Structure 1
Amino acid sequence: MENNIVNGTERWVSLEEISTHLGVSKDTIRLWIKKKTIPYHRIGRQYKFRLSEVDAWVESGKSADADK
């Protein structure tokens, strides 16, 4: 993935980019959003993510509970 810091600010990534980053399907990301397990932000009708928040979520072990 390209550099995620632009002018000192972390850029937002799309649902497609976060699914690629995590190696899971877009449907899996949508399921996690529905269950409110993955950290996300809604901007209009789109879901956006910060890689730092999602990586921290994975590292915390909370992602292991996302499919339950």
Structure 2
Amino acid sequence: MTQLVVEIEDPSVVANIKKAISMLRGVSKVHVKKNTIPNAQTRQAIYEIETGDTIKCSSFEDYLDKVKE
């Protein structure tokens, strides 16, 4: 199976494009996937994980002590 990815900037035309692609011979399925961009807080958390700037705990009690600080 081969996949074709189409990026559409105008969401108002998605339904029409989906319908048109569905009518093509050989098309078995058309799936719409929305592209989600993480918010600033999530991007910051991902950055901290990637750089190792995280809190390391040896136990749950240790975790509770560190988050109270």
Query: Shorter chain as normaliser: what TM range?
Result: under 0.3
Higher-RCO chain (CA-CA 8 Å, sequence separation at least 6): 1
Q: TM-score, normalising length from structure 2?
A: 0.24
The structure whose residues are more often strand, as a share, is 1
* Larger-Rg structure: 2
